[in-house]
Amino acid sequence: MKIQSVEPIEVAAPADELSSPWSSTVILVRVTTSDGAVGWGEAPTTLMTHPVRESVREVARFYEGRELEEHAGSLREFERYSFYRSRSMEATSALSAVDIACHDLVGRSLGAPISTLLGGAVRRSVRAYSNGWYSDAIEPGEFAEKARSMVREGFRALKFDPFADQYRTLSAEGLDRAVARVAAVREAVGETVDLLIEYHGRFLPEAAMRAGRALDEFHPRFMEEPVLPELSDALAEFRRNVKTPVALGERLLTAADFESFLNRGLVDILQPDITNSGGFTYGREIAGVAAAHGAPVAYHNAFGPVQTAATLQIDAILPTFFLQESFEASWPVWKRSLVRGYSIASGEFPIPTRPGLGIEVDERAVDRYRSEIVDPIGPEPPWVIGGTWVRRGAGEGRRTARRPAR
């Protein structure tokens, strides 16, 4: 069974649907074999939608025409040819998507879930934390009410970014407002719900430490990416001065990166992203690094449903699994329609046990939402939950997709 084609497909929010920037585009990858079997992968998009899509076409040259059972060799050959791979998120994202799709195909051909291919599941479900729930929240009371709604849905852990438009530096007023938002959420949900503070890697070290010390009193379970990633060495001092554990990993691309951060004492909780850190092939290596250090793993999962399905398969085999990120409760309708086969209820994901990824992609929905859109610029960056920097009006947040010619 040969790999016949590797096709990147961009799908995006329809023009008439209000969508947070982080949810406005998805890159799916469809791998088709010579006997017509189809496997699916996904790659991240944040301000790199078209570069990632074109990188998939580069990766495809190493897979098309090769036997499916030799897909690991194709990955290693791309590794050898791609000179900047270990520092290029576009390259590793494209490679990840194709690797995920190949594993999906192998699992389907053998009638087994990918977790079985990886050695076998050690858990049947995983605890999730909710993200994305605080869109269009600026005032503390708005954060509190939206947090209560997530707890009513069964989530016992919530992640959010309380810093609004503060970037690099943090004003006294900006810190006070962030503290007020976290205090309101803590009061609304009580002490039994875990709070996870998202910094989005936006601060200089001094600002990050001031924020960390001020927010320690609310006993967060972790603080994510407190400093700008290019200043990551400062995390050692952050960890000495702030009590809350540090989580990071969505911008790390290789097992060696994770090993380095652990060895240098820069991180407590690892957050790899299966769609940019080499799919399942490199995912096994990262899991081994985490296990060797006894490091908890909470996979980053902020894009689309194929990513979630893939992440659940690797969650199933992780010896140091901690928590699983979920945006599902806050997804727009179009994104919910793309995939069937997994679910979340009362803050937990059952691990799918059907072959491959355990899902079915609705190709009619994929075709309906095909797009050529690029990430818009403003009023908020594409990594921001919509309406948390700038109060959105009735028309803001909509995306006009340029549909391809038929």
Positions annotated as catalytic residues are: 200, 300
Q: What distances in angstroms separate CA 183 from CA 143, 219, 345, 356, one per listed residue?
A: 10, 11, 27, 43
Rounded to 5°, the CA angle 117-122-126 comes to: 105
Q: Residue 314: exposed, middle, or buried by beta-carbon count in 10 A (0-12, 13-18, 19+)? A: buried
Report the Cα 324 to chain-centroid distance in Å.
10
- DSSP H/E element including 335: helix 333-336
Beta bridge pairs of residue 348: 127, 345
As a whole number of angstroms, the distance between CA 180 and CA 170 comes to 15
- For residue 41, which of 240, 363, 307 has the smallest C-alpha distance? 307
Q: How many contiguous H segments (helices) and E segments (strands) does the chain have?
A: 13, 13
Q: Residue 193: exposed, middle, or buried by beta-carbon count in 10 A (0-12, 13-18, 19+)? A: buried
Amino acid at 165: D
- Give the distance between the most distant pair of CA atoms in the chain: 63
Q: What is the DSSP letter of 403?
A: P
As a whole number of angstroms, the distance between CA 175 and CA 138 comes to 14
Give first-to-last CA distance, the chain, whole Å.
30
Own/partner pairs, 339-346, CB within 8 angstroms, 24+ separation:
339/304, 339/305, 339/306, 339/309, 341/309, 342/305, 342/308, 342/309, 342/312, 344/128, 345/154, 346/153, 346/154
Tokens encoding 332: 């727009």
As a whole number of angstroms, the distance between CA 404 and CA 39 comes to 23
Which residue is associated with the tokens 């690991």?
A: 72
Identify whether 379 is preceded by a cis peptide bond (ω within 30 of 0): yes
Cα torsion angle, 317, 323, 324, 329, sign: positive
